[in-house]
Amino acid sequence: MFGLVFLRAKDLEKKGNGCYTFVIYYRYRISILNFVKGGAVLEDKVLRKLFLGFIQIHILHHASEHPIFGLWMLEELKEHGYNISAGTLYPILHSMEADGLLRKEEQNVDGKIRKYYSTTEKGASVLKEARLKAYELFKEIKE
The model's pTM: 0.68
What is the chain's Cα-based Rg?
17
Domain of residue 24 covers 9-42
Per-residue pLDDT of the chain (143 residues; tens, 9 = 90+): 333 344 444 444 545 545 545 444 444 444 444 444 444 444 567 777 888 999 999 999 999 999 999 999 999 999 988 888 999 999 999 999 999 999 999 999 899 999 999 999 999 999 999 999 999 998 998 86
Q: Are residues 61 and 120 in the same domain?
A: yes
Give CA–CA dist 74/84, Å, rounded. 7
* Residue 52 and residue 34 share a domain: no
The secondary structure of residue 66, as a DSSP letter, is S
**CATH number for 73:** 1.10.10.10
- Does 55 share its domain with 32? no
* Number of domains within the chain: 2
CA dihedral (130, 71, 74, 15) positive or negative: positive
